[in-house]
Structure 1
Amino acid sequence: MSPTVHMTHVFTAGPNGGNPAPIVIDADGMSDDQMRQVARDHGHEAGFVLTAPEQFDHALRFWVPNHEMPMCGHATVGALWVLRELGRVTKDRLTLTTPGGVVHARLRDTIEISQPEGVVETVPEIQDILEVLGITAAELAPFPVQNARTARVKTLIPIADVATLDALTPDFGRVQEVCERIGSTGLYPYAPSGDRRFDARQFPRSSGYPEDAATGIAAAALAFGLLDNGLVDRSDRPLRIRQGRAMGHPSEITLRFAPEGLWLGGPVR
């Protein structure tokens, strides 16, 4: 029998907004090939909820059309939203197990999930990154290109302004090659757009599609890159990352620093 798939749109910020995430909440017994097929059929990251060991509330797995991922922020938020909508959640704090590690969740008006403390490193050689994005060093903001991670490495590229960011036309055929050279799972150019507000775009290494409408893991990595560059402080005031506008899918991810790392969340439909 085909699994029941709940199509969520996570981190929505307007009509057609958010990153689609097909969710299967009773995935016990599904094979790897069946899970990957759900992602391929829908063309997006898919989340699967399974029975967890006693100390956890739920277990989650994640697939993109090309492979399994250890962690997916928006699919986690989408899965929790579906569970709550269907009455399968009875408390407002949960502990989840994923292939990438333990994730804590707070189910309030907005669902938030935890991310650990970020690690940030400067990328010393950036010429091929600029070539892939189709820009020159003059179109960068005066900050380093960085590899940053909470769950997996994203390459943060500081762009001078939002207009330049929106106009990027990457050479998608070279994104995987460049990401593999620098040890990254995606290029994440960003530009400032207001007080604790930034716009960003995500070009993944090898997910099976060229651009993401909203990428929670990349936004979490960006938060620590911004902190490292002195562009934000570590207060718990919301930090907002807009994404997807250039694709016609406006999205917004909300981040809050915490002593142990970061909370990320946003609306779902």
Structure 2
Amino acid sequence: MTSEPIPTRRYAEHVFMVNVFSNGPGGGNPAPIVVDAQQLDGEAMRAVAARHGHESAFVMPGRDGCDYQLRFFVPNHEMEMCGHATLGTIWLLDHLGELPQRTVSIATLSGPVQARIDDGQASVSQSRGRSTDVDDPAAVLDVLGLRPSDLLDYPVVNAATSRVKTLVPLRSIETLNGLRPDFARIEALCDAIGSTGLYPFAPVDPDTGAFSARQFPRSSGYPEDAATGIAAAALAWSAWDLGLTSTHRVVIQQGEAMGRPSQITVECDGDRCWLSGHAELIGETPL
């Protein structure tokens, strides 16, 4: 563990906005990041997320042998893990010259992860995915406004590398982009099936590991997410396990239906995978 895991106090009153996973103009998922959050309690962190309207990350001193501890909040509550905010945090620390080494360990509520910088690009590890079939897929289809014929010949599953997402395999990108969910019913549905969000997806080119997806969170304070690293990791493992693709590298496009094109890369590395994508600093405000 590094002897000085938290940046100097000159950043204590700053919120940095890092855009992650952008794949074109207006794309990506912004993450408000506080790189020295030692003086903030949970309610203050949630207030930062609510003010900015995005999943936010807060850097704390390391614990359990890790270099850093990260806490994550959306406007409505704390989260166990957030892939794009973790990636954005490591990229930002490197950008500020505060990252102590190329690979660091991070404690999160969902367990420890590793993050690394390679040629200016950040990557975040996730453990091997796990999945179970959803007992009542008809309820999922109903909330999404789908028919059974819209599905590929694969099951609707709850899948996770950390937070559980419900993967819904669709036959076409047109069906995916045309979805009009009943947002008022998503939270109750997710509670009933033990999920934190619905992640319908469609193959773009299975031979090259290309997929397109959308994320409708259970209860985050906004109806749709432009780029969801944790869901992308779960989708990649399911695609490998179900034989949807044989490539070790999966590329997932998300956000097109929102006008916020995003791209997430997931690479298999034995019993773990690495999330990666573009990151850039787009703003800075007082805390």
Q: Specify the TM-score bucket, using the shorter chain as the normaliser.
A: over 0.9
Q: How does 1:96-111 map to 2 (within 5 A)?
A: 96-109=106-119, 110-111=121-122
Q: Secondary structure at the match of 1:173?
A: helix
2:219 paired with 1:209: no
Name the counterpart of 2:7: none
Report what 1:154 is aligned to. Answer: 165
Question: Within 1, Cα distance between the matches of 2:139 and 2:18?
Answer: 36
Q: Which residues of 2 match residues 163-174 of structure 1 at below 5 A? A: 163-174=174-185
Q: Is the 8 A contact 1:17 1:249 kept in 2?
A: yes
- Note closer, same or farther for the CA distance 1:133–1:54 as it changes in structure 2 (3 Å cut): closer
Counterpart of 2:239?
226
The superposition leaves residues 40-66 of structure 1 with CA deviations (integer Å, 9 ceiling, x where unpaired) of 000010000111138322111100001
Alignment partner, residue 213 of structure 2: 200
Once residues 124 and 36 of structure 1 are traced to their aligned partners in structure 2, the CA distance between those partners, rounded to angstroms, is 34
Unmatched segments (≥5 aa) in structure 1: none
CA shift digits 1:207-233 (9 cap, x unpaired): 111000000000011111112221123
Q: For 2:204, what is the secondary structure of its paired residue?
A: strand
In the alignment, does 2:102 pair up with 1:115? no
CA distance in 1, matches of 2:41, 2:187: 27
- Please say if 1:243 is aligned against 2:251: no
Percent of pairs identical after alignment?
50
Q: 1:25 corresponds to which residue?
A: 35
| Unaligned stretches of 5+ residues in structure 2 | 1-11, 281-287
Q: Matched residues in 2 for 1:220 and 1:84: separation? A: 23
1:257 correspondence with 2:268: yes
TM-score (norm 1): 0.96
Alpha-carbon distance between aligned partners in 2 of 1:96 and 1:53, rounded to the nearest angstrom: 9
Quick one: which amino acid aligns to residue 265 of structure 1?
S
TM (norm. structure 2) is 0.90
How far apart, CA to CA, are the structure 2 residues paired with 1:152 and 1:84?
26
Number of the residue aligned with 1:83: 93
Deviations 1:180-234 (A, max 9, x none): 111100000000011200000000001111000000000011111112221123x
Per the alignment, residue 18 of structure 2 pairs with 8
**Aligned counterpart, 1:181:** 192
| Aligned-pair CA distance for 1:178 | 0.8
The number of equivalent residue pairs is 267
> How far 1:128 sits from its partner (Å)?
1.4
CA distance in 2, matches of 1:53, 1:138: 49
Number of the residue aligned with 2:105: 95
CA contact (8 A) 1:118 1:224 kept: yes
**Displacement over 6 Å in runs of 4+:** none
Q: Over residues 116-160 of structure 1, what are the superposed CA-to-partner deviations in whole Å (9 max), with x where a residue is unaligned? A: 111111113111111111111111111110110100110000011
Closer, same or farther: CA 54–204 of 1 in aligned 2, 3 Å = closer
- Secondary structure of residue in 2 paired with 1:5: strand
Contact 2:64 2:107 in 1 (8 A): no
Aligned partners of 1:98 and 1:140: how far apart in 2?
35
RMSD between aligned residues: 1.4
Per mean C-alpha deviation after superposition, the further-off stretch among 89-98 and 148-157 is 89-98
Q: Which moved more, 1:120-129 or 1:65-74?
A: 120-129
Distance 1:54 1:161 in 2: 45
